[in-house]
Homo-oligomer: A and B are copies of this chain.
C-alpha cells in the first residue's frame, strides 16, 4: 500500500466578498453545527444543512468544495471557541477554587448552544485530509493549557501530562453526559463538577 496522497482539498471554493454572501456562509456553518449536533454524523447531509440554513443547496456548493470542507469549517469554529474558554480560565494566576469555577462555567457555556457537537466532532465525524492536522493541533494546544493548569496547582512534577489528560477527559465526560440528559444548567451538577476538579488537583485522598 502506497502512502496516502493528500487531495488538493481547497478550504473554500470562493471567498465571500459582499455582506450577504458572508451571511450565507455563516448561516451554513451555523446550521451545519446544529444538524451535526442534533442528528449526528449519520444524519448530516449537505441537502439537510442547506435547508436548515434556509439556503439553496447550490449556494452551499458555491463556497464549500465538498462535504468534508464544511465539517472542517464547523470543527474549526467550535474548537476555537472551546480553546478560548480554557485559555481565559487559566490566564492569570488565581486560587484553585476560582479557576475551577470559571472553567466549569465556561465549558458549560461553550456546550450549551450545541450540546453534543463536541463529541460528534471528536468521535463520529471523519478526519479525512486537512482536518486531522487541525484536529491534532487542537488537541495539543488543548492539553497544553490543561497541563499548565495542573502544573500550577499541583505539588509533584510527576505524571503531570497524564493528570492533565485524565482531568480533561473526565470533565468532558461529565459535560457530555449532562448534555445528553439536558441537565447542563443544573446548579448542583456545576458545583459537583467543580469539586471533582478541586479534589483531584488538591489530591489529598491519594497518598502516592
By a beta-carbon cutoff of 8 Å, the part of chain A in contact with chain B is: 40-42, 96, 116, 119, 122-124, 159, 162-163, 165-174, 176-178, 180, 186, 188-189, 191-196, 198-206, 208
A176 and B170 contacting across the interface, CB-CB below 8 Å: no
B199 and A123 contacting across the interface, CB-CB below 8 Å: no
CA gap between A206 and B100 in the complex, in Å: 11
With A40-B41, A119-B123, A199-B206 as known contacts, state yes or no: A166 contacts B192, CB within 8 Å.
yes
B178 and A169 contacting across the interface, CB-CB below 8 Å: yes
B40 and A180 contacting across the interface, CB-CB below 8 Å: no
Q: Top 6 closest A-B pairs, CB basis? A: A173-B173, A202-B205, A169-B177, A195-B206, A170-B170, A199-B205
A163 and B192 contacting across the interface, CB-CB below 8 Å: yes
B116, B194, B195, B198: the one contacting A123 at CB < 8 Å is B116
CA gap between A40 and B125 in the complex, in Å: 10
CA gap between A170 and B186 in the complex, in Å: 17
CA gap between A170 and B199 in the complex, in Å: 13
CA gap between A77 and B193 in the complex, in Å: 31
User: Which residues of B have CB within 8 Å of A198?
Assistant: 205-206
**Smallest CB gap from A198: residue in B:** B205
**Smallest CB gap from A193: residue in B:** B166
Q: How far apart are A59's CB and chain B's nearest CB, in angstroms?
A: 26
User: Which residues of B have CB within 8 Å of A171?
Assistant: 170, 173
B188 and A159 contacting across the interface, CB-CB below 8 Å: yes
